[in-house]
Amino acid sequence: MSNSLVIVESPSKAKTIKKYLGSGYDVVASMGHVRDLPENRLSVDVKHDFKPRYAVIKGKEKLVDDLKKAAAESDKVWLATDPDREGEAISWHLAYLLGMSTDEVNRVTFNEITKHGIQEGMAHPRCIDQDLVDAQQARRILDRLVGYKLSPFLAKVIRRGLSAGRVQSVAVRLIVDREEEIRAFVPQEYWSIDGKFIPKGERKQFPASFYGLADGTKVDIHNEEEANRILQAVEGADFVVDSVKKGQRRRSPAPPFTTSTLQQEASRKLGFQARRTMKVAQELYEGVELKDMGAVGLITYMRTDSLRISEDAIAEVRTYIGDQFGSKYLPEKERHYKTKANAQDGHEAIRPTSVALRPDDIKDSLTGDQYKLYSLIWKRFVACQMSNCLMATTQASILANGYLFKASGYRVTFDGFTALYEESTEEAEESASNLPVLEAGTPLRVKEIAGHQHFTQPPAHYTEASLIKALEENGIGRPSTYAVTISTITAREYVRREGKNLIPTELGEVSTKLMKEHFPKIVNVRFTAQVENELDAVQRGEENWVQTLHDFYGEFDKTLQKAKKEMEGVKITLKEDETDLICEKCGRKMVVKMGRYGKFIACPGYPECKNIKKYVQYTGAECPKCGGRVVLKRTKKGRIFYGCENYPNCDFVSWDEPSKEKCPRCGKTLLIKKGKKPKLYCITPDCGFEKIREEE
């Protein structure tokens, strides 16, 4: 009996696939990448066509040996890593390590981890796609060159331990530019005149606002004086409905999710950070243990920017809609959505593998996060094939002493897809009332009317959702990299979070200013998008990956050498690195420094004064045992915990993070208990107060 080895990336995926392949197949996991550019050196031979010097990733030597042994004992080896650039590169590296030919038909891909998806993948094997591999290599080497060449420059000029990245630097620039727009914004005063009116013979009131002159000319009100002049002119005047315009508005459902739109919607609706969204989506794709069904992949591949839906999936969902909602909710024709011109169309849009697996039916088998995200994906997909929402609209024009007021409203005549799902937006939607029956010539009684002062608002800060949207619209990076990019710029303290807003730190602003001055192309949005297009051309086999690297690196290296000369001996000191601690040896104000093992506090008078102190990060919480301050600490393995600053005299410790909220019973700090059902509870053991925690 023949024995085949199937290599995938993760153990959970291996378990699900094994269930469908059955006997005769061994399914093992590579645990992601097995070979890469070593981290402790550049590992790229710039002088010889950027030849990469790959090595087995540290700690994976035994895994690679086990894979070699399993391959040697098998009649056939199938490379079944994820169906994207990274997955293709992993298969290519595995083929090299296992002594397999890249010309051999040994590569299989699964768009969905279901019986049908796996049968389809195994039935259509192919060779490793070298163009896809080369595109990944070009991106990896490009990012390594930028990171390893720029980071020492930033570290020398600003702060030790800094790093730069090709995509992350542009993301930080977008956030910094927005902050500068907000600071430069000058509010402009304007006024509105708003009233509430009651038609003759009616009791229901409705709102209407000043528009302009009776001939339809729009009039802007700039100040209180202008507003009062209009109010005086209409005081005691007859308000009469001049005309009523009725119409119908149709709202179409949003298309199914791509990686980018899933991250945006999960941020807006669920409060999920992009990294959390992708982690949960990966779990849903690889397979979840369902009661009486075993491991089942619940969604199609989650790294995609295509809106394509298979005909089988459309047929299934249309049958479901007809059965569950009725024929009114089923359009005559199925809906097909157009994918953007520069999108990779290798995979379908993100959808449930079967609409029969309703979220509420399998809720008990899912974690809280899995249920929330699966519900979002399931509802969005089903709704995308449902009928339009229909609304009857009414617009009324009202005249009073030569001035025009307008009222508008709508009522839903058929809910359509909104019976199941509505897309959220960053901007607050204008509310419109359901107007009473109005006819031309109807006199109106004024219930109230007044002027209201307003000021124009600055642009909004970026949130994760709006930043992801901006990155995608500008062609920066790829949707699959957005989660890592945002995590990186916050972890490296270029950007901080304030609620959902992303705010640049002083470090982010200073480093962006430096990059704009000396490396304008690296932080140029259009140039970064152009590089992305060239990588896509490599993937399509239209460009040579080595030439693409030559085109980029020649100018980049010249720019770097010039910047090093211009900034020789310059050291930028950040205000945010200053502390209130006074050096007891020389009287200077001490500063935060970055060393090999993290932050520490030092005297700026080095080398004359070598006084240093341990860096302590205060949480703002009070110790329940001794009243001291609670500080953030780390175990030897880097795991964060919280303890009293007076240790070892006070032994208070907690794995749970202090929140900014105070206990309503005793006034002490509330701790955050994470998990399937997150909650807040009082730091004081005897208090006993706790409450369910809202999602951030």
By the 8 A CB rule, do 458 and 185 touch? yes
Determine whether 177 is exposed, middle or buried from the number of CB atoms within 10 Å of its CB (0-12, 13-18, 19+): middle
- The tokens for 139 are 């991106």
H helix or E strand, kind and range, residue 113: none
Residue 267 CA from chain centroid, whole number: 7
CA distance linking residue 545 with residue 534, whole number of Å: 9
For residue 361, what is the DSSP state? G
- How would you write 465-480 as a 3-class SS string? HHHHHHHHHCCCCCHH
Pairing assessment for the beta strands 51-52 and 495-498 based on DSSP bridges:
unpaired
**Short-list 567, 549, 523, CA closest to 155:** 567
CA dist., res. 640 & res. 632, Å (int): 7
Which residues make beta-bridge pairs with 44?
Answer: 52
Tell me which residues are annotated as active site: 301
H helices of 73-202, where? Answer: 85-97, 115-123, 130-157, 166-184
Between CA 289 and CA 366 the distance in angstroms is 8
CA–CA gap between residue 121 and residue 116 (Å, rounded): 9
Pull the structure tokens for residue 14.
């291996």
At 631, give phi and psi (nearest 5°): -120, 155
Q: Which residue matches tokens 């502390």?
A: 579
- Counted residue by residue, the chain has a size of 696
C-beta of residue 344 within 8 angstroms of C-beta of residue 307: no
Which candidate, 343, 686, 278, places its Cα nearest to that of 480?
A: 278
DSSP letter at 254 equals P
Write the CA distances from 361 to 285, 291, 315, 676, integer angstroms.
Answer: 18, 10, 21, 18
Under DSSP, the state recorded for 635 is -
Closest CA to 254 of 424, 458, 395, 473: 424
Backbone angles phi, psi at 301, to 5 degrees: -55, 130
Q: Quick count: other Cβ atoms within 10 Å of Cβ 163?
A: 17
Task: List the structure tokens of 392.
Answer: 């009857």
Q: Is the N-terminal amide bond of 678 cis, ω within 30° of 0?
A: no
Q: Token digits for 337?
A: 């959505």
3-state secondary structure of 486: helix
Q: Which residues pair with 612 in a beta bridge?
A: 602
Structure tokens at 74: 């098998």
Cα-based distances in Å from 518 to 498, 515, 530, 564, 631: 30, 5, 20, 9, 39
Rg of the chain (C-alpha set): 31
Q: Where are the beta strands (DSSP E) in 430-522?
A: 443-455, 462-463, 495-498, 501-504
Q: How many CB atoms lie within 10 A of CB 141?
A: 24
For the beta sheet containing 495-498, the strands, ordered from the edge strand earlier in sequence to the opposite edge, are 462-463, 501-504, 495-498
